[in-house]
Structure 1
Amino acid sequence: MLYEEVKKNKVLQDCAYIFFKNSSNKNTSYNKALDSAFKAIEIRVKNGIYFSKLWKFVRCDLDDENYTEARYEFFDTLEEGKESCFKELPFDPMLGNGELEYKEVCTLDEKPNSFRLDQSQENCFHVMEVLPYEPKGEYACIWYHAYEGVGFEVLFVGTYDKCAEYAKSSAKKVCADFKDGEYTEYYDQVVVDTGIEWQIWDIVKLPE
Protein backbone atom coordinates (compact mmCIF):
# COMPACT_ATOMS: atom_id res chain seq x y z
CA MET A 1 0.00 0.00 0.00
CA LEU A 2 1.39 3.36 -1.02
CA TYR A 3 2.00 6.03 1.61
CA GLU A 4 -0.70 8.35 0.22
CA GLU A 5 -3.17 5.45 0.15
CA VAL A 6 -2.32 4.57 3.72
CA LYS A 7 -3.02 8.14 4.83
CA LYS A 8 -6.60 7.71 3.60
CA ASN A 9 -7.14 4.64 5.74
CA LYS A 10 -9.92 5.32 8.26
CA VAL A 11 -8.38 3.20 11.01
CA LEU A 12 -5.06 5.02 10.76
CA GLN A 13 -6.86 8.36 10.71
CA ASP A 14 -8.45 7.35 14.02
CA CYS A 15 -4.97 6.59 15.36
CA ALA A 16 -3.84 10.04 14.29
CA TYR A 17 -6.83 11.63 15.99
CA ILE A 18 -5.93 9.87 19.25
CA PHE A 19 -2.37 11.15 18.94
CA PHE A 20 -3.69 14.63 18.23
CA LYS A 21 -6.23 14.61 21.08
CA ASN A 22 -3.76 13.28 23.68
CA SER A 23 -0.75 15.31 22.61
CA SER A 24 0.81 17.43 25.34
CA ASN A 25 1.95 19.81 22.62
CA LYS A 26 -1.17 21.77 21.74
CA ASN A 27 0.58 23.23 18.72
CA THR A 28 0.82 19.80 17.11
CA SER A 29 -0.96 19.79 13.78
CA TYR A 30 -3.20 16.99 12.61
CA ASN A 31 -0.76 16.11 9.82
CA LYS A 32 2.09 15.80 12.31
CA ALA A 33 -0.09 13.59 14.47
CA LEU A 34 -0.87 11.48 11.41
CA ASP A 35 2.84 11.08 10.69
CA SER A 36 3.42 10.07 14.32
CA ALA A 37 0.75 7.40 14.01
CA PHE A 38 2.39 6.01 10.87
CA LYS A 39 5.80 5.92 12.54
CA ALA A 40 4.38 4.06 15.54
CA ILE A 41 2.72 1.51 13.29
CA GLU A 42 5.86 1.14 11.16
CA ILE A 43 7.90 0.37 14.30
CA ARG A 44 5.37 -2.24 15.38
CA VAL A 45 5.48 -3.91 11.98
CA LYS A 46 9.29 -3.92 11.92
CA ASN A 47 9.32 -5.48 15.37
CA GLY A 48 7.12 -8.30 14.08
CA ILE A 49 4.06 -7.37 16.14
CA TYR A 50 1.69 -8.29 13.33
CA PHE A 51 3.35 -11.54 12.35
CA SER A 52 0.65 -14.20 12.30
CA LYS A 53 2.72 -16.58 14.41
CA LEU A 54 2.64 -14.06 17.29
CA TRP A 55 -1.06 -13.14 17.28
CA LYS A 56 -4.29 -15.01 16.75
CA PHE A 57 -7.87 -13.78 17.07
CA VAL A 58 -10.97 -14.91 18.92
CA ARG A 59 -14.51 -13.84 18.06
CA CYS A 60 -16.67 -13.47 21.16
CA ASP A 61 -20.46 -13.55 20.77
CA LEU A 62 -23.17 -12.67 23.28
CA ASP A 63 -26.91 -12.09 22.93
CA ASP A 64 -29.76 -10.91 25.15
CA GLU A 65 -31.01 -14.43 25.90
CA ASN A 66 -27.77 -15.93 27.21
CA TYR A 67 -25.96 -13.44 29.45
CA THR A 68 -23.58 -16.05 30.86
CA GLU A 69 -23.16 -18.17 27.74
CA ALA A 70 -20.75 -16.44 25.40
CA ARG A 71 -19.65 -18.30 22.27
CA TYR A 72 -16.16 -18.30 20.82
CA GLU A 73 -14.68 -18.86 17.38
CA PHE A 74 -11.02 -18.60 16.39
CA PHE A 75 -9.21 -17.06 13.42
CA ASP A 76 -5.69 -16.51 12.17
CA THR A 77 -6.27 -12.89 11.14
CA LEU A 78 -8.45 -9.94 12.10
CA GLU A 79 -9.84 -9.75 8.57
CA GLU A 80 -11.08 -13.35 8.76
CA GLY A 81 -12.78 -12.59 12.05
CA LYS A 82 -14.41 -9.44 10.70
CA GLU A 83 -15.66 -11.25 7.61
CA SER A 84 -17.25 -13.95 9.76
CA CYS A 85 -19.22 -11.32 11.70
CA PHE A 86 -20.92 -10.01 8.57
CA LYS A 87 -21.55 -13.52 7.24
CA GLU A 88 -23.29 -14.59 10.44
CA LEU A 89 -25.51 -11.62 11.31
CA PRO A 90 -28.32 -12.91 13.55
CA PHE A 91 -30.87 -10.41 12.23
CA ASP A 92 -31.55 -9.55 8.60
CA PRO A 93 -30.62 -5.83 8.38
CA MET A 94 -33.15 -5.40 5.58
CA LEU A 95 -36.04 -6.36 7.84
CA GLY A 96 -37.54 -4.39 10.72
CA ASN A 97 -36.24 -1.23 12.35
CA GLY A 98 -33.08 -2.70 13.80
CA GLU A 99 -29.66 -1.09 14.09
CA LEU A 100 -26.26 -2.27 12.92
CA GLU A 101 -23.07 -0.61 14.16
CA TYR A 102 -19.49 -1.73 13.73
CA LYS A 103 -16.00 -0.34 14.10
CA GLU A 104 -12.38 -1.38 14.07
CA VAL A 105 -10.75 -0.27 17.28
CA CYS A 106 -7.31 1.21 16.83
CA THR A 107 -4.70 0.48 19.47
CA LEU A 108 -1.35 2.18 19.92
CA ASP A 109 0.11 -0.40 22.31
CA GLU A 110 1.70 -3.71 21.36
CA LYS A 111 -1.56 -5.38 20.38
CA PRO A 112 -3.12 -5.50 16.91
CA ASN A 113 -6.45 -3.78 16.38
CA SER A 114 -9.72 -5.34 17.43
CA PHE A 115 -13.21 -5.21 15.91
CA ARG A 116 -16.71 -4.82 17.33
CA LEU A 117 -20.14 -5.29 15.78
CA ASP A 118 -23.42 -4.50 17.55
CA GLN A 119 -26.77 -5.47 16.10
CA SER A 120 -30.19 -4.94 17.62
CA GLN A 121 -33.77 -5.49 16.54
CA GLU A 122 -36.79 -4.61 18.67
CA ASN A 123 -35.83 -5.75 22.20
CA CYS A 124 -33.08 -8.13 21.10
CA PHE A 125 -29.35 -7.53 20.73
CA HIS A 126 -26.26 -9.40 19.60
CA VAL A 127 -22.66 -8.33 20.16
CA MET A 128 -19.58 -9.69 18.39
CA GLU A 129 -16.02 -8.71 19.29
CA VAL A 130 -12.90 -9.96 17.52
CA LEU A 131 -9.96 -9.71 19.91
CA PRO A 132 -6.25 -10.52 19.54
CA TYR A 133 -4.46 -12.94 21.82
CA GLU A 134 -0.98 -14.41 22.00
CA PRO A 135 -1.13 -18.21 21.51
CA LYS A 136 1.29 -18.97 24.34
CA GLY A 137 -0.81 -21.53 26.14
CA GLU A 138 -3.60 -24.07 25.84
CA TYR A 139 -6.28 -21.95 27.52
CA ALA A 140 -7.41 -18.35 27.76
CA CYS A 141 -9.20 -16.53 30.56
CA ILE A 142 -11.76 -14.30 28.85
CA TRP A 143 -13.74 -11.79 30.91
CA TYR A 144 -16.97 -10.12 29.90
CA HIS A 145 -19.85 -8.24 31.46
CA ALA A 146 -23.48 -8.05 30.44
CA TYR A 147 -26.61 -6.02 31.06
CA GLU A 148 -24.99 -2.64 31.74
CA GLY A 149 -23.53 -2.80 28.26
CA VAL A 150 -21.45 -5.67 26.89
CA GLY A 151 -17.68 -5.89 26.62
CA PHE A 152 -15.04 -8.62 26.34
CA GLU A 153 -11.36 -8.82 27.24
CA VAL A 154 -8.74 -11.56 26.94
CA LEU A 155 -7.08 -11.34 30.35
CA PHE A 156 -4.65 -14.23 30.45
CA VAL A 157 -3.29 -17.09 28.33
CA GLY A 158 -1.65 -20.16 29.83
CA THR A 159 -2.43 -23.54 31.35
CA TYR A 160 -5.89 -24.48 32.60
CA ASP A 161 -4.76 -24.23 36.21
CA LYS A 162 -3.23 -20.77 35.74
CA CYS A 163 -6.32 -19.47 33.91
CA ALA A 164 -8.63 -20.91 36.58
CA GLU A 165 -6.54 -19.34 39.33
CA TYR A 166 -6.60 -15.98 37.54
CA ALA A 167 -10.36 -16.16 37.01
CA LYS A 168 -11.15 -17.07 40.63
CA SER A 169 -8.85 -14.42 42.07
CA SER A 170 -10.22 -11.67 39.81
CA ALA A 171 -13.84 -12.65 40.42
CA LYS A 172 -13.46 -12.73 44.20
CA LYS A 173 -12.00 -9.22 44.18
CA VAL A 174 -14.92 -7.93 42.11
CA CYS A 175 -17.50 -9.72 44.27
CA ALA A 176 -16.02 -8.20 47.43
CA ASP A 177 -16.76 -4.72 46.09
CA PHE A 178 -20.53 -5.36 46.07
CA LYS A 179 -22.58 -5.82 49.23
CA ASP A 180 -25.06 -8.14 47.54
CA GLY A 181 -22.58 -9.76 45.17
CA GLU A 182 -23.02 -13.48 44.49
CA TYR A 183 -20.05 -15.66 43.51
CA THR A 184 -20.57 -18.93 41.59
CA GLU A 185 -17.77 -21.21 40.44
CA TYR A 186 -17.82 -23.88 37.72
CA TYR A 187 -15.13 -25.96 36.04
CA ASP A 188 -14.72 -23.62 33.08
CA GLN A 189 -16.39 -20.45 34.33
CA VAL A 190 -16.69 -18.11 37.29
CA VAL A 191 -19.76 -15.87 37.55
CA VAL A 192 -20.36 -12.83 39.74
CA ASP A 193 -23.85 -11.35 39.99
CA THR A 194 -23.17 -7.84 41.29
CA GLY A 195 -26.84 -7.05 41.69
CA ILE A 196 -26.50 -4.65 38.79
CA GLU A 197 -25.12 -6.87 36.05
CA TRP A 198 -23.28 -10.13 35.38
CA GLN A 199 -19.51 -10.37 35.24
CA ILE A 200 -18.12 -13.60 33.84
CA TRP A 201 -14.68 -15.19 33.57
CA ASP A 202 -14.63 -18.03 31.03
CA ILE A 203 -11.76 -20.52 30.83
CA VAL A 204 -11.63 -21.27 27.11
CA LYS A 205 -9.70 -24.06 25.36
CA LEU A 206 -7.63 -22.62 22.52
CA PRO A 207 -7.15 -24.38 19.17
CA GLU A 208 -3.86 -26.13 18.63
Structure 2
Amino acid sequence: MLYEEVKKNKVLQDCAYIFFKNSSNKNTSYNKALDAAFKAIEIRVKNGIYFSKLWKFVRCDLDDENYTEARYEFFDTLEEGKESCFKELPFDPMLGNGELEYKEVCTLDEKPNSFRLDQSQENCFHVMEVLPYEPKGEYACIWYHAYEGVGFEVLFVGTYDKCAEYAKSSAKKVCADFKDGEYTEYYDQVVVDTGMEWQIWDIVKLPE
Protein backbone atom coordinates (compact mmCIF):
# COMPACT_ATOMS: atom_id res chain seq x y z
CA MET A 1 0.00 0.00 0.00
CA LEU A 2 1.41 3.39 -0.99
CA TYR A 3 1.97 6.15 1.55
CA GLU A 4 -0.77 8.37 0.07
CA GLU A 5 -3.24 5.46 0.17
CA VAL A 6 -2.49 4.97 3.86
CA LYS A 7 -3.28 8.64 4.51
CA LYS A 8 -6.65 8.33 2.72
CA ASN A 9 -7.78 5.18 4.55
CA LYS A 10 -10.00 6.10 7.53
CA VAL A 11 -9.14 2.98 9.53
CA LEU A 12 -5.41 3.50 9.07
CA GLN A 13 -5.79 7.19 9.85
CA ASP A 14 -7.07 6.23 13.30
CA CYS A 15 -4.03 4.00 13.75
CA ALA A 16 -1.64 6.73 12.68
CA TYR A 17 -3.11 9.20 15.18
CA ILE A 18 -2.84 6.62 17.97
CA PHE A 19 0.78 5.99 17.00
CA PHE A 20 1.36 9.76 16.88
CA LYS A 21 -0.09 10.29 20.38
CA ASN A 22 2.03 7.51 21.86
CA SER A 23 5.33 8.42 20.19
CA SER A 24 5.32 12.17 19.48
CA ASN A 25 8.52 13.97 20.48
CA LYS A 26 8.31 17.45 22.01
CA ASN A 27 11.38 18.45 19.99
CA THR A 28 9.70 17.51 16.71
CA SER A 29 7.15 19.67 14.91
CA TYR A 30 3.54 18.47 14.77
CA ASN A 31 3.57 17.92 11.00
CA LYS A 32 6.85 16.00 11.03
CA ALA A 33 5.71 13.80 13.90
CA LEU A 34 2.38 13.04 12.23
CA ASP A 35 4.12 12.36 8.92
CA ALA A 36 6.44 9.91 10.69
CA ALA A 37 3.39 8.21 12.21
CA PHE A 38 1.82 7.66 8.78
CA LYS A 39 5.10 6.26 7.44
CA ALA A 40 5.35 3.92 10.42
CA ILE A 41 1.86 2.62 9.71
CA GLU A 42 2.78 2.17 6.03
CA ILE A 43 5.77 0.02 7.01
CA ARG A 44 3.59 -2.16 9.22
CA VAL A 45 1.03 -2.59 6.45
CA LYS A 46 3.72 -3.59 3.95
CA ASN A 47 5.24 -6.06 6.40
CA GLY A 48 1.86 -7.55 7.24
CA ILE A 49 2.44 -6.75 10.91
CA TYR A 50 -0.18 -4.07 11.44
CA PHE A 51 -3.69 -4.40 10.08
CA SER A 52 -2.89 -7.18 7.64
CA LYS A 53 -6.66 -7.28 7.30
CA LEU A 54 -8.69 -4.13 7.83
CA TRP A 55 -10.61 -4.01 11.08
CA LYS A 56 -14.34 -3.48 11.24
CA PHE A 57 -16.37 -2.33 14.23
CA VAL A 58 -19.48 -3.56 16.01
CA ARG A 59 -21.61 -1.44 18.32
CA CYS A 60 -23.04 -3.47 21.19
CA ASP A 61 -26.08 -2.10 23.07
CA LEU A 62 -27.63 -3.28 26.33
CA ASP A 63 -30.22 -1.74 28.64
CA ASP A 64 -31.67 -2.48 32.07
CA GLU A 65 -34.81 -4.16 30.72
CA ASN A 66 -33.20 -6.77 28.48
CA TYR A 67 -30.17 -8.30 30.18
CA THR A 68 -29.90 -11.16 27.67
CA GLU A 69 -30.94 -9.26 24.55
CA ALA A 70 -28.00 -7.21 23.33
CA ARG A 71 -28.34 -5.41 20.00
CA TYR A 72 -25.62 -5.07 17.39
CA GLU A 73 -24.85 -2.61 14.61
CA PHE A 74 -21.83 -2.64 12.31
CA PHE A 75 -19.49 0.09 11.02
CA ASP A 76 -16.39 0.45 8.88
CA THR A 77 -14.60 2.83 11.26
CA LEU A 78 -14.46 3.66 14.95
CA GLU A 79 -15.49 7.26 14.23
CA GLU A 80 -18.69 6.13 12.51
CA GLY A 81 -19.52 3.92 15.48
CA LYS A 82 -18.88 6.75 17.94
CA GLU A 83 -21.06 9.16 15.98
CA SER A 84 -23.92 6.66 15.96
CA CYS A 85 -23.81 6.45 19.77
CA PHE A 86 -24.40 10.18 20.18
CA LYS A 87 -27.04 10.29 17.45
CA GLU A 88 -29.04 7.48 19.07
CA LEU A 89 -28.96 8.37 22.77
CA PRO A 90 -31.89 6.59 24.45
CA PHE A 91 -32.51 9.40 26.95
CA ASP A 92 -32.66 13.13 26.30
CA PRO A 93 -29.66 14.50 28.25
CA MET A 94 -31.52 17.81 28.73
CA LEU A 95 -34.32 16.14 30.69
CA GLY A 96 -34.25 14.72 34.20
CA ASN A 97 -31.22 14.13 36.42
CA GLY A 98 -29.52 11.57 34.23
CA GLU A 99 -25.82 11.00 33.67
CA LEU A 100 -23.82 10.64 30.46
CA GLU A 101 -20.28 9.27 30.45
CA TYR A 102 -18.12 8.23 27.51
CA LYS A 103 -14.51 7.42 26.79
CA GLU A 104 -12.25 6.05 24.08
CA VAL A 105 -10.33 3.05 25.36
CA CYS A 106 -6.72 2.78 24.17
CA THR A 107 -5.08 -0.56 23.54
CA LEU A 108 -1.43 -1.55 23.88
CA ASP A 109 -1.66 -4.37 21.34
CA GLU A 110 -2.17 -4.07 17.59
CA LYS A 111 -5.93 -3.60 17.77
CA PRO A 112 -7.58 -0.22 17.16
CA ASN A 113 -9.11 1.64 20.08
CA SER A 114 -12.62 0.92 21.30
CA PHE A 115 -15.29 3.29 22.63
CA ARG A 116 -17.80 3.14 25.47
CA LEU A 117 -20.81 5.30 26.32
CA ASP A 118 -22.91 4.93 29.48
CA GLN A 119 -26.17 6.79 29.96
CA SER A 120 -28.56 6.59 32.89
CA GLN A 121 -31.76 8.33 33.92
CA GLU A 122 -33.59 7.66 37.18
CA ASN A 123 -33.44 3.84 37.57
CA CYS A 124 -32.73 3.10 33.90
CA PHE A 125 -29.40 2.63 32.12
CA HIS A 126 -28.11 2.04 28.61
CA VAL A 127 -24.60 0.95 27.63
CA MET A 128 -23.03 1.19 24.17
CA GLU A 129 -19.62 -0.22 23.30
CA VAL A 130 -17.95 0.04 19.88
CA LEU A 131 -15.44 -2.80 19.51
CA PRO A 132 -13.02 -3.79 16.72
CA TYR A 133 -13.06 -7.18 15.05
CA GLU A 134 -11.26 -8.77 12.11
CA PRO A 135 -13.71 -9.65 9.30
CA LYS A 136 -12.26 -13.10 8.72
CA GLY A 137 -15.44 -15.14 9.08
CA GLU A 138 -19.21 -15.08 8.73
CA TYR A 139 -20.00 -15.07 12.47
CA ALA A 140 -18.64 -13.64 15.71
CA CYS A 141 -18.88 -14.99 19.24
CA ILE A 142 -19.54 -11.94 21.43
CA TRP A 143 -19.51 -12.30 25.22
CA TYR A 144 -21.05 -9.91 27.71
CA HIS A 145 -22.11 -9.82 31.33
CA ALA A 146 -24.86 -7.85 33.01
CA TYR A 147 -26.10 -6.86 36.45
CA GLU A 148 -22.75 -6.48 38.23
CA GLY A 149 -21.73 -3.91 35.66
CA VAL A 150 -21.88 -4.37 31.89
CA GLY A 151 -19.05 -5.26 29.54
CA PHE A 152 -18.65 -6.71 26.04
CA GLU A 153 -15.86 -8.58 24.26
CA VAL A 154 -15.51 -10.06 20.78
CA LEU A 155 -14.02 -13.46 21.58
CA PHE A 156 -13.88 -15.27 18.26
CA VAL A 157 -14.64 -14.80 14.55
CA GLY A 158 -15.19 -17.70 12.17
CA THR A 159 -17.88 -20.09 10.96
CA TYR A 160 -21.15 -20.61 12.81
CA ASP A 161 -20.05 -24.06 14.01
CA LYS A 162 -16.72 -22.76 15.35
CA CYS A 163 -18.38 -19.83 17.12
CA ALA A 164 -21.05 -22.10 18.62
CA GLU A 165 -18.40 -24.53 19.82
CA TYR A 166 -16.38 -21.70 21.37
CA ALA A 167 -19.47 -20.26 23.09
CA LYS A 168 -20.58 -23.60 24.56
CA SER A 169 -17.12 -24.54 25.77
CA SER A 170 -16.53 -21.15 27.42
CA ALA A 171 -19.97 -21.06 29.02
CA LYS A 172 -19.66 -24.57 30.49
CA LYS A 173 -16.33 -23.65 32.10
CA VAL A 174 -17.87 -20.55 33.68
CA CYS A 175 -20.96 -22.43 34.86
CA ALA A 176 -18.80 -25.09 36.52
CA ASP A 177 -17.26 -22.41 38.75
CA PHE A 178 -20.61 -21.62 40.38
CA LYS A 179 -22.43 -24.08 42.64
CA ASP A 180 -25.87 -22.80 41.66
CA GLY A 181 -24.98 -21.85 38.09
CA GLU A 182 -27.65 -22.46 35.44
CA TYR A 183 -26.68 -23.20 31.83
CA THR A 184 -29.14 -22.56 28.96
CA GLU A 185 -28.37 -23.15 25.31
CA TYR A 186 -30.10 -21.72 22.22
CA TYR A 187 -29.28 -21.75 18.52
CA ASP A 188 -27.56 -18.35 18.56
CA GLN A 189 -26.91 -17.83 22.26
CA VAL A 190 -25.65 -19.51 25.42
CA VAL A 191 -26.66 -18.07 28.80
CA VAL A 192 -25.21 -18.73 32.24
CA ASP A 193 -27.01 -17.46 35.34
CA THR A 194 -24.28 -17.47 37.99
CA GLY A 195 -26.70 -16.56 40.76
CA MET A 196 -25.16 -13.09 40.92
CA GLU A 197 -25.39 -11.95 37.31
CA TRP A 198 -25.91 -13.06 33.72
CA GLN A 199 -23.08 -14.06 31.40
CA ILE A 200 -24.03 -14.39 27.74
CA TRP A 201 -22.31 -15.66 24.61
CA ASP A 202 -24.06 -14.48 21.43
CA ILE A 203 -23.36 -16.00 18.02
CA VAL A 204 -23.77 -13.01 15.73
CA LYS A 205 -24.03 -13.01 11.93
CA LEU A 206 -21.58 -10.51 10.46
CA PRO A 207 -22.35 -8.32 7.44
CA GLU A 208 -20.83 -9.38 4.14
Runs of 4+ in 1 over 4 A off after TM superposition: 1-53
Q: Does the 8 Å CA contact 1:17/1:33 hold for their aligned counterparts?
A: no
Distance apart, 1:54 and its partner CA: 1.7
**Structure 1 range deviating more: 48-57 or 76-85:** 48-57
Change (3 A) 1:187 1:126: same
Distance verdict in 2 for CA 1:114–1:74, change over 3 Å: same
Q: How many residues align?
A: 208
Contact 2:45 2:52 in 1 (8 A): no
Change (3 A) 1:55 1:12: closer
Equivalent pairs: percent with the same residue?
Answer: 99
Distance 1:61 1:109 in 2: 25
Q: Per-residue deviation at 1:78?
A: 0.4
Show structure 2 runs of 5+ residues with no match: none
SS at match of 1:128: strand
Q: CA deviation at 1:195?
A: 0.2
Query: What's the RMSD between the two structures over aligned residues?
Result: 5.4
Compute the displacement of 1:2 (Å): 19
For residues 62-113 of structure 1, give each alpha carbon's deviation from its aligned partner in whole angstroms, at most 9, with x where no partner exists: 0000000000000000000000000000000011110000001001101110
| Cα 1:160/1:10, change in 2 over 3 Å | closer
Distance 1:77 1:181, change over 3 A: same
CA contact (8 A) 2:6 2:42 kept: no
Task: Say if 1:16 and 1:30, in contact at 8 Å, map to a contact too.
Answer: no
TM-score normalised according to structure 1 size: 0.79
Query: CA distance change for structure 1 residues 12 and 57 in 2, over 3 Å: closer, same or farther?
Result: closer
CA contact (8 A) 1:19 1:33 kept: no
Taking structure 2 as the reference length, what is the TM-score of the superposition?
0.79
Deviations 1:95-138, CA, capped at 9 Å, x for gaps: 11100000010011011100000000010000000000000000
Secondary structure in structure 2 of the residue aligned to 1:7: helix
Distance (whole Å) between structure 2 residues aligned to residue 5 and residue 199 of structure 1: 42
Please list the CA deviations of residues 140-164 of structure 1 after superposition, one character each: whole Å capped at 9, or x if unmatched: 0000000000000000000000000
Q: CA separation of 1:24/1:130 partners in 2, compared to 1, >3 Å: closer, same or farther? A: closer
